[in-house]
Structure 1
């Protein structure tokens, strides 16, 4: 029986050919700066995976701009251009932030949309004081720990063509929202919204009215995928590396972990994964994978080996 799927699947060798003549605009040193704590990002992967990906995204954006022009023609007037919004989802430790940074760096060098911004959903976590009051500190990262309404309001403003949108900032050092501090986004061409929760669907609104999803505002969505065994290993390795870097800062929320032995670090990180991240992955994150337009599948060495593209 024929295997029906809403996706076209490409091995990395097939996908690499779709780069065509797209020029490499990043240097080796720039790529090294973009990679995560526990990742080794090669020039080959950027060339073979991310250049074809950003070429495709650029074509989508061009199509969106043409549609905007057609709409202006229909109304007989110029309307405000709104940003093309890309969602990047996936588990803790899968490398979403690196993916978002590479896409931003490459897209920002295309001539027709130089202004690219990243919004991380960490900024829309409730403050620790609120989470503690609600008994949610051990469920940080679960859907209920986010102020989704505020994130939706931000996306509404962006898609309404607002001149300025203020975005709250999260500190990984303090493991908390920075009070009364915001970054201002001013009329970007592209916005990348990165976070574990961006493809999740909220509970039905009161009165059974339709809920508004964060993903309703996306023009394109990407899910970064990997097996849980690999995710756990990457999480533990990252935790071990952070002992001598971020955790070593006396102001760090996780400073108490800085002097753990390797054995203690593995035990602690594995416990955190099993009790929090694994549960969130199984219940809330992985079920959203097939809502994405593009799925990037990573294997044990953090290299993307398969790309799935939703059929149009």
Structure 2
């Protein structure tokens, strides 16, 4: 009888190298000259046209297949139920660690999807706006756990997604300021019946983001996890902290202005401490365990560029 080590275990994912993936672009093509790289990538997250062409155009092609199938199923359901219900948004969830590059992935994906042949209306929402205000976090004694599942108003987030999926004509989303490190009480983003909605945040695939048996990810039609080795994420986080210390933190209105006068050594030590006390536990306890709940995993190398892709088999 063969030993366990002699068995070949199958995986629910199909694996692609970068070279294999970029050849899957197929017949998908559109003009990308108008993409403004500086507006799409975040601080210390390099972005090149090669990355867009090699990674995001094949991804857009794959998503177009899913979106078309989704719309076809909706049309056939209308016929079956003898109704004339308007088409509903296709929702894409993007998850991953702090500093891994989710925001860049989300912005680039929004851009390339908006250039699909039928020019869909694409909106992007981050879950930061669904954090409890600092006042409430302080009241609950969890300000130092901002970003952990319990720091989000999950009920409000679920209601937003339910409204979107019900076809509500306009839905408002709370906005978050990284400068003020708080939800802006009097500012909203208004979402009006998009064809595609991208929801980006560290918490979106978390199993314990749950109310009454409903999960945030229940509303997603496709989900993506942006992955990287932890040693790389830590390095990116520390580098970003130092860059912010020299730029945004210098603004006296910034919540983090208290770090503006740190030396390079002190900045490194502070960023490392924040990572070890807050971000690392959150990554290990809540974020990373959800990786294989995604439909697609983008694995980045040490230079922030995607080197491997895993796609859930259908």
Identify whether the pair has TM-score above 0.5, normalized to the shorter chain. Answer: yes
For residue 22 of structure 2, what is the aligned residue in structure 1?
16
Alpha-carbon distance in 2 for matches of 1:77, 1:49: 39
For residue 130 of structure 2, what is the aligned residue in structure 1?
124
Quick one: structure 1 residues 161 and 204, their matched pair in 2 at CA, closer, same or farther if it must change by over 3 Å? closer
Listed as ranges, the matches of 1:1-312 within 5 Å are 1-27=7-33, 30-202=36-208, 211-312=213-314
Structure 1 residue 159, shift from structure 2 partner: 0.3
Quick one: structure 1 residues 199 and 159, their matched pair in 2 at CA, closer, same or farther if it must change by over 3 Å? same
Alpha-carbon distance in 1 for matches of 2:210, 2:269: 38
Q: Deviations over 1:198-227 (max 9, x none)?
A: 00012776xxxx510000000000000011
Q: Deviations over 1:3-37 (max 9, x none)?
A: 31000000000000001242253337612320110
The list of structure 1 runs, each at least 4 consecutive aligned residues, that deviate by more than 4 angstroms after superposition, is none
TM (norm. structure 1) is 0.96
Alpha-carbon distance in 2 for matches of 1:254, 1:79: 48
What secondary structure is seen at the aligned counterpart in 2 of 1:243? helix
Alpha-carbon distance in 2 for matches of 1:29, 1:7: 31
What secondary structure is seen at the aligned counterpart in 2 of 1:221? strand
Q: Deviations over 1:29-81 (max 9, x none)?
A: 61232011011111111101110001100110011111111011112231121
What secondary structure is seen at the aligned counterpart in 2 of 1:104? helix
Alpha-carbon distance in 1 for matches of 2:108, 2:221: 18
Alpha-carbon distance in 1 for matches of 2:253, 2:282: 28
What secondary structure is seen at the aligned counterpart in 1 of 2:253? coil
Structure 1 gaps of 5+ residues are none
Quick one: structure 1 residues 203 and 28, their matched pair in 2 at CA, closer, same or farther if it must change by over 3 Å? closer
Q: Deviations over 1:216-250 (max 9, x none)?
A: 00000000001110000000000111122211111
Q: 108-117 or 89-98, which moves further after superposition?
A: 108-117
What secondary structure is seen at the aligned counterpart in 1 of 2:297? strand
Alpha-carbon distance in 2 for matches of 1:64, 1:113: 17
CA RMSD of aligned residues (A): 1.3
For the Cα contact (< 8 Å) 2:224–2:297, is it kept in 1? yes
